[in-house]
Amino acid sequence: MRLTHSNLVLPSALLFALAGVMVASNSFAGAQVQSPLSASVRAVLQRSVSDQAAPKLAFATQYEADVWLKQMSPRLLKRFPYEPDRLDFLKTVHYEATRAGLDPELVLGLIEVESGFKKYALSSVGARGYMQVMPFWTKEIGTDEQNLFHIRINLRYGCTILRHYLDIEHGDLFRALGRYNGSLGRPEYPNLVRAAWHSHWATQPRNVTKYIATSN
């Protein structure tokens, strides 16, 4: 959906705010469903999103880190023309994904489908940012002051939520992705993420266990 104001008279402050928010045009933008959390699960998730450790690459050597960045960087050139921003984004994705026990390249595929790498993407149901995180999560496991359009906060929440869904589904990626998108049991969204991951971001063949390409 494109926002215009050619036929509207809006306050300048409101126009400025609208200019900073891009409505997610992708029909598969996320809509995680709010459900009750046990006290123990909430405590774990709260610890996960509150850790403020500085982003870093989790590789055995700096050489491996440099190789990965060199492979990923050209693929994001059109979306992040300014190299420092591009590298900062990749380093943050890698850190937050690895920290949550996720494949960073899977997370890149999910971001491609969810927001098209638009930092200020906003879905019709209110999901925000790169990983289209629903605002209720800040109340459930964080604080109202946390800005879901902030790159590291958004990626921290998104990766934590996907990890949570994977744990619920005992490692079944198909079902975990369905939960993340609010389309549990339907194949369209998980297959889109898997296709983006394997076609655009995976640096080596993936052996994805418990991934089912069609609904049962």
Phi, psi of 18 (to 5 degrees): -65, -35
DSSP label at residue 133: B
Q: What is the pLDDT of residue 117?
A: 97
DSSP lists the bridge partners of residue 121 as 22
* Confidence band, pLDDT 50/70/90 cuts, at residue 213: very low
At a CB cut-off of 8 Å and minimum separation 6, what does 94 contact? 57, 58, 68, 104
Residue 15 lies in a domain: no
The tens digit of pLDDT for each residue in 63-73 reads: 999 999 999 99
Mean pLDDT check: name the lowest of 24-33, 90-99, 151-160: 24-33
Q: What is the pLDDT of residue 144?
A: 83
Q: What is the mean pLDDT of residues 36-53?
A: 68
Residue 211 lies in a domain: no
Residue 153 lies in a domain: yes
Domain tally, the chain: 1
Give the domain range for residue 184. 22-201
Residue 96 lies in a domain: yes
Per DSSP, the three-state class of 113 is: helix
Residue 2 lies in a domain: no
pLDDT higher than 70, residue 77? yes
Residue 106 structure tokens: 């899977």
Residue 128 lies in a domain: yes
Q: Between these two residues, 198 and 45, which has the higher pLDDT value?
A: 198
**Tell me, what CATH number does 166's domain have?**
1.10.530
Residue 158 structure tokens: 């998104």
pLDDT higher than 80, residue 181? yes
The tens digit of pLDDT for each residue in 145-164 reads: 889 999 999 999 999 999 99
Residue 1 lies in a domain: no
Phi, psi of 121 (to 5 degrees): -60, 140
Tokens 């909430």 belong to which residue? Answer: 42
Return the percentage of the chain with pLDDT > 90, whole number. Answer: 59
Residue 59 lies in a domain: yes
